[in-house]
Structure formats: C-alpha cells, structure tokens
Structure 1
Amino acid sequence: MDPVAQYLITHSFWRHNYDVSTTNKTHLFHVANSSFTPGKADLTFHRSPDSNGPIAGVCKFRHFSSDCEIGLGDSAQPNRMDWEYLHKQGFMKRIYWFRMQLDDGTKQTFTWKRTHSLGSGSENHKLVEETSQTVVAVFSSGGIFSKTTGYLDIYSNLGPRFSLMALISGIALIEKGRRARQASGGAASGGGGGGGGGGC
C-alpha cells in the first residue's frame, strides 16, 4: 500500500522545536514547542522556517489531564479556528482518539494505537478509522540518537484538514511521551530510551 502523502519530522538538538517537510525536503511547518509560557500553546505550527510565519494550527496539553486541544487555523483569529480534541482512552493504555468533521462534511472517529507490524521505527503508531477499521496513517519513530523524530505516512485522501490533524496529533503524542520520559527520569538518565505516553 503506497501512501498518498509522506512527511519527515525532525527536531532541534535539545528537542525543543520540530520541523516538518516532505520527503523530497520541501519545508512545510516549523513547530514551536513551549512548556512554560502561560497562555501559549504547547505546540504551534507555523507555515514558515521559523516562528515568525503564519500559524496553521496549535495544540494545547490540558493540565491534570492526558487530553489535548487542537486548533486548526490561525490563533491570531480565534473566531475562525476549528477546535478538535484528542482524548486518551483509559488510564494505562496508550490509545488516543479524536472525532472530526472532514472536508466532505462527514464526521468520523480516528484512533491512534501502538503497532509493531507497521512502520519502520522502534516505536510506531497507526491511525485507524473506527467505523471501517481502516489504517489511514502510520507514524514511524526515528532513532534515539537521530535528529529525525519520525515519518508520517498518510494512506487515505481525506482532505487537508485531516492531514493537518493527523500531523498535529501525531507530533503531540511524540512530544507528550518525550516530556513524560524527561519528567520521570530525564535528570538522571538524560531523558533517553523507552516509550512513554503520559500527559502533561
């Protein structure tokens, strides 16, 4: 099965910020990562090589919860943003789901699940459309010592809003896991190794 779109996600040296490009190196988004600024989104997706360009979407990690709020559109025009919600299923499971309206007007539910049979990395996730149980995207992790965070392959042409939602929610899961590892053992071990799925 060939993907209809492929994205390469890289991170800066200290894994503060992310960049998204096509596999032929066309830059698409710079993702500004903010952990400590009150009122600022945890992840802000800019359509530019830095944080000065127009905003395509944002992700806010809910405090005291594993859920996320994802805004599609420019946060400078809040009345024109579409808000979607990424929910964690259960307490122990690392399964996340969201329900969104697609560009054709239909609403569908999608679930991120860990997978060992798909993807090319050591910690991979598949995005499943719940009604048909079709795999619509796969996020493959990069190496521990690599600048590459991972690759997102999209297999269903469900429109640009869905592609952006899949990209934002996929990177959100990776960043939540990174923060959980850093919080639980980063000071002692340098923040490496293992798969986390905790909240912020």
Structure 2
Amino acid sequence: MLIVLVIIAAIVLVIWQPWRGSQAAAPVSSPSVTTPVASASTPPASAAPAEASAAPVAPNLTPDASGTAPTVAACSTAAISVQAVTDQDVYSAGELPKLSITLSNTSGAPCLMNVGTATQSFVITSGTDTWWRSTDCQSESSDQVVQLAAGQTVSSVTPLQWDRTRSSVDTCGSSRPQASPGYYHLSVSIGGIQAADTKVFELR
C-alpha cells in the first residue's frame, strides 16, 4: 500500500511541475495590425501645392560716381577688325563688281566710331598699279557716328559699284580707260582703320 502511494505522488509531481512557476512566461506575439484602406466613398487627400518659384531678379545696373551711365569711349584700332568684301570672286565681261566694307568690334566693351562715307576709302590695284580710288571723284560725303556693341559686326548698307575704269581726279567728267581682264586687289579703310588684308577678285 505504501509503494502505491509513493508512485501516485511521483506522478502528481511530474504533471504539476511547481518549479516552472518562477520562470517568466514566453512572450506572446500580438496579432498583426492591418492598416485600413480608405473606402471608395472617401476621396484621397489632395497633394500639397508646389511652392511658387521666386520672381526673377532684375539686373543690378550700377551708375558711375556722377549717377549717370558710363561714357562710351571711341573705338581704338586694336578693337576694330576691318574686311574688304566683293559680291563675287569672278566677274564675266560686262559685270560690275560691288564693293563693301565689313567691320567688327572685337573688344569686350561698346565703343563709338564714325562710319560715314567721309571716313571710307576703297582702292583697287593690279600689282603695283593703282587703278581706282573711291575718293578721286567723290561728290558727296557725310559723317555718321554709331555705337558698336561688344562683338558686333556691321556691313555697308549699299555696296559701291566699280565701273571697271581707271580713276583720276582729272577725269571725273570724261571717258576713262577700261580695266583689262586679270586679277585685282581691293583694299579698304574706314574711320582711319585699314583692313589687314586685301580682297582678290578676277575680271574676265
């Protein structure tokens, strides 16, 4: 009978296990939370309006000490590039060359220059022989001071036409010798500035 009681007590201890009561319980995972989806009847919140861009800043123009705009200086020889121009490279018999001047302000600042006909010169040569000068029989001339912006290029408004004759101050109202076929050079100057190169063209 005693043996039976001991066996029953051992079984009770195995099932009860009183020593496990002092240990912390294992954490229980909480159920996952699902973010509710907005119902179709609830409109989504509108996006915040984009921040307006800043207004453009006007350029800050600084006057000189007198409070007026800076004075524009006269163009220097170093600032101006002059080029002789013809409308063609080759002229058939009877075609008259049209002559022009192109000039550029190669500096980084505006400048003033007299580009009037009083300051223009066209000279046509063949070898060492000068055939024609625009100033030999020039009847009218004028001054025209213009401001050339930095980097600006301008050309003659109306080209000057050469009649293919030899000019002279003594033959302005009379017949002149006609130029022979061959190669000719046009050199120009304006405002006292000479073109660095001549323009070569051919008469046939």
TM-score normalised by the shorter chain: which range applies?
under 0.3
TM normalised by structure 2 equals 0.19
Question: Higher strand proportion, which one?
Answer: 1
TM-score of the superposition, structure 1-length normalised? 0.19
Q: From the CA coordinates, give the structure whose radius of gyration is larger.
A: 2
